[in-house]
Structure 1
Amino acid sequence: MKAKTAFIHGGISRDEATGAVSVPIYQTSTYKQDKVGVDKGFEYSRSGNPTRLAVEELIKDIEGGVKGFAFASGSAGTHTIFSLFSQGDHIIVGDDVYGGTYRLINSVLKRLGLTFTVVDTSNPDEIGPAIIPETKAIFLESPTNPLLKITDIGAVAEFAREHSLLTIVDNTFATPYHQRPLELGADIVLHSASKYLGGHSDLVAGLVTTNDLEIAEQIGYLQNAIGGILGPQDSWILQRGIKTLGIRMDAHEENAHAVVDYLVNHDAVDKVYYPGLQSHPGHEVAKRQAGGFGGMVAFELKDGLSATAFVEKLGLITLAESLGAVESLVEIPAVMTHGSIPKADREKAGIKDELVRLSVGLEDAEDLIDDLEQALAHVSVRVEG
C-alpha cells in the first residue's frame, strides 16, 4: 500500500459495527464487563480507548512498527520513552533538538538520575567517543529543530546495534510520508503529532511506535502507568488530519522551494538552512534516506538586522510557536521555542539571535514571498536609516 493510500486506509479506518467510514468518538471513561475480568477488549480509557486505538494502529502502520501509542503531547511521549531507562543509565542526544526536549532532559530527567552527553549526530565521528559503559541509547532528530541538520539514520542505527544501543528518532519534521526511520534501522520513532500529522493547529498530541515487540510491551506498560494518554476527541481529530498528510506535504515542499529560492537571493539574508539546497551539508544523505525535503526553512538575517522587527512586521505569516500547519508560522528560536536553552549552549549549537524558523504553509507562494519582501524591506530600511 502506497503512503497516501495508507494514510487514509491504514490502521482502523472505519467502524465495522455500523459501516461508518469515520471511526466514532468513544467519549467514555469505562466499559461494562459481562463478568468479572471479562470485557470486550477495553476496561478503562487510560488503558485503552477505541478511538485512540484507531490512531495508534494508524501510526504503527504508516511507520512500519508493531504497535503504536498516542500521548497527550509530544513531550509526554518523549518522557515515556526516556522512562524506559533507569537511574545511572546514559543516553547520547543530538545537539540540535527541540527546546522542550532540552528542558525535559535538564530540568527533569537529570534530576532523576539519567545522564546525557550532547553530540552532533550529523557528524558520526562524535558519537563513538561519547559512549561509556552505561550508555543505553542514541536520541536524535533528523532533520533537526531548528537548524535542519541531517543525520544518516541508517549509519547511526548500525553503529548503535554494534554497541547494543537503542536508536530513537524524532521524525516530526520529516513525517512518515518522507522518512521511515524504522526501515532505516531505528528502534523507536516519535512525533509531535501537533505538527504535520495533525496539520491544522487544532490539537496537541504525541505519537510513538517501535518495531520491537518487547520494547512495545514496555512502552505500553509505561503509557498506562504514567497516564499521559491522548483523549478520544483529539485522537479523532488527529486521525482525520493524517488522512491528508501526503497531499499536504507535497504542497508544503513546493512552497518551501519557492520561498528558499527567494531567500537565498535576498541581500538581507546571510544564510539559509534547507536540506533541499545542494549546498546543504546533509543534502545527499537527505536525498538518499528521505522521499522529500519538507516544508521547514531556517535562515539568518545579516548582522545589524533585527529578527524581532522582521517577524513582527510580517502580516500574512503568523508569529507563533508551532509548525507543520496549513498556515505559515514563523518564530525566533533563541527567544521562543528554544528560549529555555542557555545562551551559551544555544550559540554552541549554532542557534544565533538572528536565526528565524519558518514553517511554510499552504498559502499561495506569491503571497508568502510578498509578505517576506515587505518585512525584509522594513528591517533593511531601519538599518540604513
Structure 2
Amino acid sequence: MSKAGFETRAIHAGYEPDPTTGAVIPPIYATSTYKQDGVGGLRGGYEYSRSANPTRTALEGALASVEEGERGFVFASGLAGEDTLVRSTCRPGDHVVLPDDAYGGTYRLFDKVEQAWGVEHTPAAVSDVDAVRAAIQPGRTKLVWLETPTNPLLNVGDIEALAAVAHEAGALLVVDNTFASPYLQQPLTLGADVVVHSTTKYVGGHSDVVGGALVVRDHELAERIAFHQNSIGAVPGPFDCFLTHRGLKTLGVRMDRHCDNAERVVDFLTGHPAVTQVIYPGLPEHPGHAVASRQMKRFGGMVSFRVAGGVEQALAVCERTSVFTLGESLGGVESLIEHPGRMTHASVAGTELEVPDDLVRLSVGIETADDLLADLDRALGQR
C-alpha cells in the first residue's frame, strides 16, 4: 500500500475487509470496553475505548498513510490535538514560535492556556525564514509552528527551509496542513516532524463532524503522543471516526473540484472594481507563489480578498450572499463566506496578529461554479 497512489491509500489503507463478515467498510464499534481472554489477555490490544477503538484505529492508519507518516492519532477536535502535542513535547519554561497570522483558535490556545502553563510563544512571519530563525530561542524553543497556507492571509512558508532552521536549533517543525489537506501537500516528506489537522475541514469534508489529527514520522515521538492521547483522553467517538474516515475516502476528487472552483472565483474577483486585493497562492504575483508551486500539488480552495469601502462594505458583502453561506469553519462541500476580523479571528483583535478589517475569507465549495460567481457578483454589486 505504501507504493500505491493517494486515492488508493485514502480508500484502502488502515483497514482490511472484516475476516468474519467481509465488510469492506470499518464497522462502528460502539463499545466502551472489551472482553479480555484472562487478565491482561487483550484481543488485538483493545481494553477500553479511550485507549483504542477499532473504528479509530482504521482512521488513524489511513491518515498516517496519506500523510506518509509513521503513525497517526485522532482527537475530538483540532485544538485537542494541538494541546496534546504541546503537552507531549513541552514543559513549563519552554518556548514556541508561532505564525504571526496564525489561526485565531491556535493563538488563543497558546496565549491563554499554554502560556498560563508556562510555555511562552513568539510570533514570526512564516514566509520569512530569517524572521523565524530570529524568533527561535536556542535551548528553549521546542516547537516551530507553521501554517502553510496560513489562515486567513494565505501566506506560504517554505517547509523544507524551515525544517532545517528548526532542526539546527534542536526544535521540531510542526505544520498545520488543514488548508492544503494531505492531497495537496505532504509536509513530512519535506522534513516536518509533525502534521496537524483539523479533520473537521477538508478531511471530513461535509461539515457534519468535528475532529483533529496528528501524524508523525518518528517512533519515539509517536510513543510520547500515544501516552498523552490516552492520559488526556480528548479522543473522538467511533461514529465521529466513521464519518471522518468516510470523508477521507473522497478527499482527492473533492479537492480537485475545490481547486477548480477556487480558480474560477479568483479569476472573477481579480480586477473587480469592488475588490482591492485578491489573496491566493495560485496567483503569480502572490509572494509565496514559487514556494507553493514547489511544495503543493495545486493551490487549494481557500480565497481571501479585500474590498473597497472598508469594514462596513466587507460586512455587507458577507451578509448579501445566498449560495455562499455566512458561517465559520471551512473545507466542506458547501461554500462559506466569513469576516475573519469579527468571526474566526476575533480572538486576535488588538494583538500583533490582528487581521485587516476589510478582509473577507471564502471557503470555495464544490457547487456549480457559475452559481458561485453569480452570487459573488450580486454581493459585490454589478459591474
Relative to structure 1, the CA distance from residue 47 to residue 344 in structure 2 (aligned partners, 3 Å threshold; closer, same or farther) is closer
How many Å apart are 1:247 and its aligned residue?
Answer: 0.3
Tell me if 1:114 matches 2:119. Answer: yes
Aligned to 1:383: none
Equivalences, count: 376
TM-score by length of 2: 0.96
Q: Provide the C-alpha distance between the structure 2 equivalents of 1:288 and 1:13, rounded to a whole number of angstroms.
A: 34
User: Which amino acid in the other structure matches residue 208 of structure 2?
Assistant: D
| Of 18, 24, 35, the match for 2:21 | 18
Give 1:361-380 correspondences, 5 Å limit: 361-377=365-381
Aligned to 1:38: 41
Q: Provide the C-alpha distance between the structure 1 equivalents of 2:64 and 2:16, rounded to a whole number of angstroms.
A: 13
Aligned to 1:327: 334
How many Å apart are 1:129 and its aligned residue?
Answer: 1.6
Relative to structure 1, the CA distance from residue 364 to residue 333 in structure 2 (aligned partners, 3 Å threshold; closer, same or farther) is same
Q: Provide the C-alpha distance between the structure 2 equivalents of 1:79 and 1:286, rounded to a whole number of angstroms.
A: 28
How many Å apart are 1:279 and its aligned residue?
Answer: 0.6
Describe the superposition over 1:189-226 as per-residue Cα deviations: whole angstroms up to 9, x where unpaired: 01000000000000000011100000000000000000
Q: The residue matched to 2:293 in structure 1 has which SS?
A: helix
Range that drifts further, 7-16 or 154-163 = 7-16
TM-score by length of 1: 0.96
Q: Provide the C-alpha distance between the structure 2 equivalents of 1:353 and 1:214, rounded to a whole number of angstroms.
A: 44
| Of 20, 45, 52, the match for 1:48 | 52
CA contact (8 A) 2:102 2:353 kept: no
Q: The residue matched to 1:151 in structure 2 has which SS?
A: coil
Unaligned stretches of 5+ residues in structure 1: 381-385
Aligned to 1:290: 296
User: Which amino acid in the other structure matches residue 14 of structure 1?
Assistant: P
Aligned to 2:61: 57
Describe the superposition over 1:301-322 as per-residue Cα deviations: whole angstroms up to 9, x where unpaired: 0134511111111011100101
Q: Provide the C-alpha distance between the structure 1 equivalents of 2:147 and 2:256, rounded to a whole number of angstroms.
A: 21
Tell me if 1:87 matches 2:107. Answer: no
Q: Provide the C-alpha distance between the structure 1 equivalents of 2:18 and 2:379, rounded to a whole number of angstroms.
A: 49
Q: Provide the C-alpha distance between the structure 1 equivalents of 2:201 and 2:17, rounded to a whole number of angstroms.
A: 24
Q: The residue matched to 1:345 in structure 2 has which SS?
A: coil
Aligned to 2:318: 311
Q: Provide the C-alpha distance between the structure 2 equivalents of 1:13 and 1:168, rounded to a whole number of angstroms.
A: 31
| Of 339, 350, 356, the match for 1:352 | 356
Describe the superposition over 1:83-136 as per-residue Cα deviations: whole angstroms up to 9, x where unpaired: 121000111111111111011111100000001111002101101221223111
Q: Provide the C-alpha distance between the structure 2 equivalents of 1:38 and 1:328, rounded to a whole number of angstroms.
A: 49
Range that drifts further, 313-322 or 297-306 = 297-306
Q: Provide the C-alpha distance between the structure 1 equivalents of 2:112 and 2:20, rounded to a whole number of angstroms.
A: 47
| Of 78, 81, 84, the match for 2:82 | 78
Range that drifts further, 243-252 or 95-104 = 95-104
Q: The residue matched to 1:189 in structure 2 has which SS?
A: strand
Q: Provide the C-alpha distance between the structure 1 equivalents of 2:174 and 2:17, rounded to a whole number of angstroms.
A: 31
Aligned to 1:343: 350
Aligned to 1:231: 237
How many Å apart are 1:342 and its aligned residue?
Answer: 2.4
How many Å apart are 1:345 and its aligned residue?
Answer: 2.4
Describe the superposition over 1:218-266 as per-residue Cα deviations: whole angstroms up to 9, x where unpaired: 0000000000001100100111000000000000000000000000120
Percent identity, aligned pairs only? 52
Q: Provide the C-alpha distance between the structure 2 equivalents of 1:69 and 1:89, rounded to a whole number of angstroms.
A: 24
CA contact (8 A) 1:12 1:23 kept: yes
Q: Provide the C-alpha distance between the structure 1 equivalents of 2:351 and 2:91, rounded to a whole number of angstroms.
A: 29
Q: Provide the C-alpha distance between the structure 2 equivalents of 1:272 and 1:13, rounded to a whole number of angstroms.
A: 45
How many Å apart are 1:13 and its aligned residue?
Answer: 5.1
Tell me if 1:8 matches 2:7. Answer: no
Give 1:131-142 correspondences, 5 Å limit: 131-132=136-137, 133-142=139-148
Aligned to 1:219: 225
User: Which amino acid in the other structure matches residue 156 of structure 2?
Assistant: I
How many Å apart are 1:344 and its aligned residue?
Answer: 4.0
CA contact (8 A) 1:300 1:355 kept: yes
| Of 144, 151, 157, the match for 1:145 | 151
| Of 277, 283, 305, the match for 1:277 | 283
Aligned to 2:272: 266
| Of 304, 308, 329, the match for 1:302 | 308
CA contact (8 A) 1:255 1:360 kept: yes
Q: Provide the C-alpha distance between the structure 1 equivalents of 2:16 and 2:152, rounded to a whole number of angstroms.
A: 34
User: Which amino acid in the other structure matches residue 89 of structure 1?
Assistant: D
Q: Provide the C-alpha distance between the structure 1 equivalents of 2:153 and 2:75, rounded to a whole number of angstroms.
A: 26
Range that drifts further, 23-32 or 89-98 = 89-98
CA contact (8 A) 1:346 1:352 kept: no
Q: The residue matched to 1:326 in structure 2 has which SS?
A: coil
Aligned to 2:249: 243
